[in-house]
């Protein structure tokens, strides 16, 4: 295996560092129940969790941007999700020791997410990711969201590092697109939600990480 040489690791948030799908799915099912619909099984909603409100509304109510009333549904989802932001959300297993290991080797790490800072900041702080993370770039921090490279480039700028000295770890095809467009190594987190676009082996990732500890091995730190 070719080892990567980097100065910093950037992570997606939902589906990579934290398992927020139970609370996202819970908010979606609250909306269904409010409309007299039965809740959907968690397994049906989990794959859509990485797409936030857009994914949850598509999966639970077949509502899509541009449809009549969509903006109101999105606002309702955000309000319901905010009320249960940390009811069941937690760090994925082995993430805490992974971050400890990166810091012990002198590597910076940060978070780049499409989640709005309204949610990403309190969630990250409550789970102990802040103030440890050297950067937090949210979905409303730049003019574009992933798969555009702008959020990753902004994170590298905040770290004071050339983008090519960073790698990006994420659980969605658009994370790989963003990483490559930013000239970063792109690593796929197989423990995450993985979306509904294409199977992970078709993403073109530099590495597919089966578990968090594989990141250390890819960086020759284990």
Question: Is 75 noted as a catalytic residue in this protein?
Answer: no
Residue 9 near residue 102 (C-beta atoms within 8 A): yes
Per the annotation, the verdict on 214 as an active-site residue is no
Helices (H) and strands (E) in the chain, counts: 9, 8
Q: Could you tell me where the DSSP H helices lie in 69-136? A: 70-83, 95-104, 117-126
Q: For residue range 18-43, what is the model confidence (pLDDT) as tens digits?
A: 999 999 999 999 999 999 999 999 99
Out of 12, 172, 175, 206, the active site residue is 12
What local confidence, expressed as pLDDT, does residue 3 receive?
A: 59
| Per-chain mean pLDDT for the chain | 96
Residue 5, pLDDT score: 78
Q: Which residue has the tokens 């968690």?
A: 42
In this prediction, residue 222 carries a pLDDT of: 63
What would the pLDDT profile of 77-132 be if each residue is shown by its tens digit? 999 999 999 999 999 999 999 999 999 999 999 999 999 999 999 999 999 999 99
* CA dihedral over 219, 120, 20, 131, signed as positive or negative: positive
pLDDT score recorded for residue 190: 98
Residue 11 backbone phi and psi in degrees, to 5: -120, 140
Q: What pLDDT was estimated at residue 30? A: 98
Is residue 221 pLDDT above 90, yes or no? Answer: no
Split at pLDDT 50, 70, 90, the class of 2 is low
63-86: average pLDDT: 97
β-pairing, 18-19 vs 90-91, is antiparallel
Average pLDDT of the segment spanning 170-196: 97
Q: Where are the beta strands (DSSP E) in the chain?
A: 8-11, 18-19, 90-91, 108-112, 136-137, 166-170, 185-189, 207-209
CA 213 to chain centre: 18
Nearest to 23, CA basis, from 115, 111, 133, 110: 115
Q: How many residues does the chain have?
A: 222
pLDDT band at residue 1, thresholds of 50, 70 and 90?
A: very low
Instruction: Give the pLDDT band (50/70/90) at residue 196.
Output: confident
The residue annotated as part of the active site, out of 14, 171, 172, 206, is 14
- pLDDT at position 176: 98
């Amino acid at each position: 295996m070719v080892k990567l040489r980097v100065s910093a690791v950037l992570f997606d948030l939902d589906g990579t560092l934290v398992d927020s799908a139970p609370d996202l799915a819970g908010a979606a099912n609250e909306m269904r129940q409010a409309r007299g619909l039965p809740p959907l099984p968690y397994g049906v909603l989990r794959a859509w969790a990485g797409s936030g409100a857009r994914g949850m509304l598509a999966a639970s109510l077949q509502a899509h941007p541009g449809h009549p009333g969509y903006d109101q549904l999105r606002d309702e989802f955000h309000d319901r999700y905010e009320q249960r932001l940390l009811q069941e959300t937690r760090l994925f297993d082995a993430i805490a020791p992974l971050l400890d290991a990166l810091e012990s080797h002198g590597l910076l790490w940060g978070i780049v997410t499409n989640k709005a800072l309204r949610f990403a900041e309190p969630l990250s702080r409550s789970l102990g990711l802040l103030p440890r993370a050297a950067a937090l770039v949210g979905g409303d921090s730049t003019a574009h969201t992933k798969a555009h490279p702008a959020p990753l480039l902004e994170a590298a700028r905040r770290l004071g590092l050339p983008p090519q000295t960073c790698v990006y770890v994420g659980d969605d095809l658009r994370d790989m697109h963003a990483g490559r467009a930013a000239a970063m190594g792109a690593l796929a987190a197989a423990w995450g939600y993985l979306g509904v676009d294409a199977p992970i082996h078709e993403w073109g990732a530099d590495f597919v990480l089966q578990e968090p500890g594989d990141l250390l091995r890819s960086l020759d730190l284990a």
